[in-house]
Amino acid sequence: MKSLLRISALFLLFSSPVWADTLPLSGYSAPPRASNRIPIPDPPRLAVKSYLLVDHYSHRVLAQANADRHLEPASLTKIMTAYVVFRELAAGNLSLPDRVLISDKAWRTGGSKMFVETGKRVSVEDLLKGLIIQSGNDAGVALAEHIAGSEEAFANLMNTHAERLGMKHSHFTNATGLPHKDHYTTARDIALVTAASIREFPGYYAWYAVKDFVYNRIKQRNRNRLLWRDKSVDGVKTGHTAAAGYCLVASAEREGMRLTSVVMGARGEETRARASLALLNYGFRFYETHKLYPGNQPIETLRVWMGEVEELPVGPAEDIFVTIPRHTYDQLSIKLVTDPDLSAPIVAGSVVGRLGITLEGEELQRVPLVALRDVAEGGLLQKAKDTVLKLF
């Protein structure tokens, strides 16, 4: 009789539907209430060729037009140029104090300059600041030649990193953004490398907020007017050629929410600045971003069959953020979906379920859940016990 009661208790314990549990939001316990959502108007209408507004943490696009249209990026190219240099620095292939010999090609390159001189040596740090703050084409060529031997070889590096980052509609032929028929990108793609720069290299990214830089006794101002107009803006890069028009990638952080806007093909400097600020203000005014769960931390424990242990901690591989209309946080619903027959062996990092994030009945995103530890197969006794339990 005692054995029967024990098995019955185990049946009740393990027969609960682990495949669809509702989870509480991190740090939130209030009951749902009627939506207090602020009506969201259409995004601002902008007189530009292409634009995009995206949340940095959740990756949600809040506004876009022609975001995948191939366009000349002009000096927005230098976001990718700088990113490649950052990667080389992180890999230990060069250092900021390294002295770069300036070639005649670098000195002769037209367009914006930091005014380096042929035959002189300039530190990688000064060249990077000249590239980022002054938008120096001469700095871009000098860095490209120093790293890859030639600007053409460096462009191959740029394309390799672009492919790795998922920039499917970009191709680079130079480090400066000077016009070339095979040199193009999109608003969506340039937002990807901007996000990677902010995420991977916050220390170097801070240089995008510097308002001026002095080299060779010449002081030049950053062309990003938003650095003076909005204290929350800390980057990123302007660009202009006759064919590309006026372009600007801007990023700003307010109360822990970071938005990045991309404007391409505006008719003037003031137009691109106003369009970028209009997008940023629209996003901050009508949306909010929340971190729901940290990455690589358990949010639930699942029953494992036939394993050396019976419990498996699971969680998302990366931090989970969600961007939603303001005042709708308590309308979020989280569903955990897993396999009730989850069996060993299980390798840490393998996908064992998913989270469904829903707002007022609309699914916003599905996030894979991964095993946070290995679970090896259990012994014969454990397998025999689990075999009996699964019969019920």
Start-to-end CA span in the chain (Å): 17
Q: Which of 58, 103, 135, 197 is the catalytic position?
A: 135
CA distance 225 to 237: 10
Q: Which of 50, 58, 75, 251 is the catalytic position?
A: 75
SS3 for 40-100 is: CCCCCCCCCCEEEEEECCCCCEEEEECCCCCECCHHHHHHHHHHHHHHHHHCCCCCCCCEE
Active-site residue, 95 included: no
Residue 244 and residue 235 in contact, taking contact as beta carbons nearer than 8 Å = no
Q: What does the chain come to in residues?
A: 392
DSSP for 102-128, written as a single string: PPHHHHH--SS-----TT-EEEHHHHH
Neighbouring residues of 240: CB distance < 8 A, sequence distance ≥ 6: 74, 75, 246, 247, 269
Residue 321 and residue 290 in contact, taking contact as beta carbons nearer than 8 Å = yes
CA distance 387 to 385: 5
Q: Which of 49, 50, 58, 78 is the catalytic position?
A: 78
Active-site residue, 181 included: no
What DSSP element (H or E) covers 22? strand 21-23
Give burial (CB, 10 Å; 0-12/13-18/19+) of 142: buried
Residue 293 and residue 354 in contact, taking contact as beta carbons nearer than 8 Å = no
Neighbouring residues of 242: CB distance < 8 A, sequence distance ≥ 6: none
CA distance 240 to 248: 9
Which is nearest to 88 in space by CA: 136, 137, 160?
160
Neighbouring residues of 6: CB distance < 8 A, sequence distance ≥ 6: none
CA distance 215 to 229: 25
* DSSP structural state of residue 378: -
What amino acid positions are annotated as catalytic residues? Answer: 75, 78, 135
